[in-house]
Structure 1
């Protein structure tokens, strides 16, 4: 048995107070996105929700609210779910507000960044709405910059479904 860490080894704290064990998502495609409700890119939440609805039997989108980029996510955990639903129609899982860069970053992001560096080799997350695509076997297969909108990711989803 291998002792190598996989995506399925992580248990995540949801904003709702529940725990999401990624091991429960084996066999599904996972798209992990750091989000911020006050970011100028926040309309990507609407596109992410559309993908969530269209591929809900094969795809799980996980939003990771983060306030590390010029304080664009000020919502407390207890309001994240209701505001994201009201403002953007989001029903996919949202983690509690998380740190994704630096010494206090959540272990999931340390893992994701070790698996896929950015296009220019940058290890850290540069801005809100960077995305990681994980295939059905748990392999991190792509990393997308903030500027890659969710609608354009659909072709990659179709290729691995």
Structure 2
């Protein structure tokens, strides 16, 4: 993100506890968890981190419904259902924490990135948009 700091670009972070119940903290604890636990080491995000949301299931935030409908998976694979904590499970659901969506400056969903997508691919796509 720092490499794009001078441009009209920002990262938005949303916490969610629907993946392996890995984020059980309440909203006011989130920044301390990031700083001291995960990732820890004094990490302080340089971008807005919003309160906890649901990104899948009956109570998912409309923003994520829109993003998933706009950018469906090309080759959808459902992972380990035992670690999913929502219902109903749909083929285009977000599969794990740190999945990313790139949105253009005019608000159009541009590309969706899975958890293990190399950051260089995301950076190249961002550079191509700005």
TM-score normalized with structure 2 length = 0.76
- The structure with the largest alpha-carbon Rg is 2
1:133 match: 102
CA shift at 1:111, angstroms? Answer: 1.0
Secondary structure in 1 matching 2:11: strand
1:108 is matched with which residue: 63, 74, 81? 63
TM-score normalized with structure 1 length = 0.63
Note closer, same or farther for the CA distance 1:82–1:151 as it changes in structure 2 (3 Å cut).
farther
Gaps of 5+ in 1: 1-50
CA shift at 1:59, angstroms? Answer: 1.3
1:146 match: 115
- Residues 4-56 of structure 1: CA deviation (Å, up to 9, x unaligned): xxxxxxxxxxxxxxxxxxxxxxxxxxxxxxxxxxxxxxxxxxxxxxx1x2212
- Residues 125-150 of structure 1: CA deviation (Å, up to 9, x unaligned): 11111111001121101001111133
More strand as a share of residues:
1
CA shift at 1:101, angstroms? Answer: 0.3
Secondary structure in 2 matching 1:133: strand
**Larger CA deviation: 97-106 vs 77-86:** 77-86
2:11 match: 61
2:48 match: 93
In the aligned structure 2, how far is the partner of 1:117 from the partner of 1:99?
18
1:36 match: none
CA shift at 1:81, angstroms? Answer: 2.2
- Aligned-pair RMSD on alpha carbons? 1.6
Relative contact order, CA 8 A, sep 6+: which one is greater? 1
